[in-house]
A and B are shown apart, each in its own frame.
Chain A
Amino acid sequence: MKELSKQDLLHLYRSLIRTRKFDQLNVRLAAEGKLLTFYHSAHGHEAVGVGASSLARDDDYLFIHHRGHGLPYSIPRGIDPKSCVAEHMGRATGWGGGITGFHAVDKEKGVLSSAGTIGSGFVLSAGYGLAAKKNGRGQIAFCFSGDGGVQRGQFHEAMNLCAAWKLPVVFVVENNGMAWFTPNCDTTAVEHVADLAKAYQVPGEIVDGMDVLAVYRATEKAVERARKGEGPSLIECKTFRYRPHSEGRPDVSHYEPRSKEEIASWMERDPVRLFEEKLLKKKVLTAALIEEIAREADEESAAAEKFSFDSPFPDPARLPDMVYAP
């Protein structure tokens, strides 16, 4: 485990802030009716995607979870988040050329898809892992999901296959205890997703998903294992979503409002603030630097909004050519 440099720590911090600002932008644009599709906020989940995907190489593969529609997994890796905003506004400059609705794709950095039907990520990631293993260049696949997603059969089929064939896949589960309106304690008898991994002889580790460094460290181990050819791992990050499942929907558990106390208690462990306090104590951050980073992120997201607005819509004449590869 290498010591994280000041620069590494600031990269994580900056990524958290940018993720949050862009998430807030998408939330506002959704409320203003300017997104031409739905949006699932990552508010509360930022540390998981940022912490884990920071460890991905440019030639790795990465299957995103739907929280933030790709933002937490793209920003730390240098993918320009304005292409996320533009895609949601249906513009040709979006990362899917403005034809996908909400799907996140980035061929250059191995973001090969995101699932409309939850669960595909597990099995597609097995395929990315298979390709990575065949390539023999030490590439790996990252697969992000929620705790609801692991209730689909594909999770179990993928675990089994990846373990049997020692595929280089790192599964990161963002366990926020909910799947849409339904609390998972009422739909599974298994409290910890990590225990499911163990059933398939896959190492499963539980970490604090509000602590970006804890996520980073756990992922580091899993990544090392995968790159060495020792097979898959699963990291279960305990986290919380601060907003409704998707924008404009009621915020309920079953059919009653979610507990305000529960939300408030998780708010006290805001992943961005926790890390900020830590870095302030370590003197990596100063009040002035915090302000500067926030201002830069504000400027960047304002520019992204304008860029998206000013971008043209796709040319519909292209659509028929998108159906079959030549």
Chain B
Amino acid sequence: MKELMYWNAISEAIAEEMARDEKVFVIGENVQESPFLATKGLVQQFGPERVMDAPLSELAIAGATVGAAMAGYRPVCDLTFADFIYCAADEVLMKAAQQYFIHNGEVGVPCVFLGVAGGGFGNGPEHSRIPAAMVMHNPGLKLAMPSNPYDAKGLMKAAIRDNNPVCFFFHKKCMPMKQAIPDEEYVIPLGQAEVKRSGTDVTVVATSYMVNLALEAAKQLEGKLSVEVIDPRTLVPLDMETIVASVKKTNRVVIIDEDTECCGVAAEIAQQINEQAFDYLDAPVSRLCAANSPIAGAAMEKYVIPQLPQVIKAIETAAGI
């Protein structure tokens, strides 16, 4: 066992996959130094031919990723901020997502779109998003959002090995996290939720960094409420089985997600719970998400993105207290 930081767990996963499969390479702006560290150190190991500092051209980078993937490579495309997926939208949403379909199921697009996501830095509307619902809304894309270093490593390895385009959003607020990582290789299959904490009174389904807030809230509510926290880890595919099993046990559920509320991740999960476990609910499914607003900058960010006190309150409300 060794301790790894969140970002280092990601770079280690990419390094292992690059060593294992010469078809894997990294492309993106500033990936050699890597401002958010997820690809740091790779150029020293694999050279600039496989860790490519690209022009400031999101469409070209994403498009080249899709093209190379269709031609047999497994690129890891770093978009820097996850927000910049909007700059690359045509190639990610229209092409990466749909080429397998358009090729009658004969040509896949195995690649990863990496982006640092979410609030925490106060940088305002264009650098603080976690565009999860938009990815979910485009069939053909998978979506992983690890909430800790262990998951980050295992999910990244699965993402690179997957035969589909996988968006991989890692969270700025998870950057300081450190965790024990086994020396042996492991892969976390896409589509397996994890019960991060078991409880009996109320189920919290939380995503990305919100998992950590939910766990902290659950700890603070100890003695008052027994809270079960589920981290889907990937939103596409979505492990409803684990969520539904928990809801059947607790009969109460709140979904906590950092993306914008309207048409969001929580809305989708809530509807699936309604369809699959309605008879088990003692109260309507509830949700806590970012407000339906651009992400405000500086000191105003915390009024748009859920914070710990709201998370605690949302759990109490869902539990009926």
Interface residues in chain A, defined as those with a beta carbon under 8 Å from any beta carbon in chain B:
36-38, 87-90, 96, 98-103, 115-119, 148-149, 151-153, 179-182, 184, 186-188, 249-250, 252, 254-255, 313-314, 316, 319-320, 322-323
Contacts and interface: CB of A to CB of B under 8 A. Distances in A.
B84 to A, nearest CB: 6
A319 B48 CA distance: 45
B87 interface: yes
B127 A316 contact: no
B15 to A, nearest CB: 15
B296 A115 contact: no
B35 A314 contact: no
B33 A37 contact: no
B299 interface: yes
A99 B57 contact: no
Given A254-B53, A319-B291, 10 more contacts: A37-B297, A87-B298, A99-B296, A101-B296, A116-B126, A119-B56, A250-B33, A255-B32, A320-B291, A323-B292
- Give the dominant DSSP class at B's interface: loop
A116 B127 contact: yes
Nearest to A153: B59
Contacts of A37: 121-124, 297-298
Given A101-B124, A117-B83, A181 B32 contact: yes
Nearest to B295: A101
Given A116-B124, A117-B86, A255-B32, A187 B54 contact: yes
Interface string B287-321: 00001111011111101100000000000000000
30 contacts: A37-B121, A89-B298, A98-B300, A99-B124, A99-B297, A99-B298, A99-B300, A101-B124, A101-B125, A101-B296, A101-B298, A103-B124, A116-B123, A116-B124, A116-B126, A117-B84, A148-B55, A151-B56, A152-B57, A152-B58, A152-B87, A179-B30, A180-B30, A188-B55, A250-B33, A254-B43, A254-B48, A255-B44, A314-B299, A319-B291
Nearest to A90: B298
A89 B297 CA distance: 10
Contacts of B298: 36-37, 87-90, 98-101
Contacts of B291: 319-320
Contacts of A151: 55-57
Given A116-B83, A187-B53, A255-B43, A316 B303 contact: yes
Contacts of B78: none
Nearest to A316: B303
Contacts of A38: 121, 123
Contact of A314 (B53, B86, B300): B300
A37 B127 CA distance: 11
Contact of A102 (B124, B294, B296, B300): B124
Determine the interface band of chain B, counting residues with CB < 8 A from chain A.
35 or more
Contacts of A188: 55
B56 A115 contact: no
B93 to A, nearest CB: 16
A38 B296 CA distance: 14
B297 A101 contact: yes
Contacts of A87: 298
A92 to B, nearest CB: 10
Nearest to A98: B298
B292 A187 contact: no
A149 B87 CA distance: 13
Nearest to B128: A101
A187 B61 CA distance: 12
Nearest to A97: B300
A316 B298 CA distance: 12
A320 B303 CA distance: 10
B10 to A, nearest CB: 17
B55 to A, nearest CB: 4
A99 B124 CA distance: 8
B57 A116 contact: no
A116 B124 CA distance: 9
B124 to A, nearest CB: 3
Contacts of A115: 126
Given A151-B55, A151-B56, A186-B53, A254 B32 contact: yes
A181 B293 contact: no
B128 to A, nearest CB: 8
Contact of A116 (B56, B58, B59, B125): B125
Interface string B228-264: 0000000000000000000000000000000000000
A96 B30 CA distance: 30
A319 B296 contact: yes
Contacts of B87: 117, 119, 152
A96 B60 CA distance: 33
B275 to A, nearest CB: 31
A90 B297 contact: yes
Contacts of A103: 124-125, 297
Given A36-B298, A117-B86, A319-B300, A101 B32 contact: no
Give the residue among B122, B124, B300 with the most A Cβ atoms within 10 A: B300
A32 B56 CA distance: 30
B29 A180 contact: yes
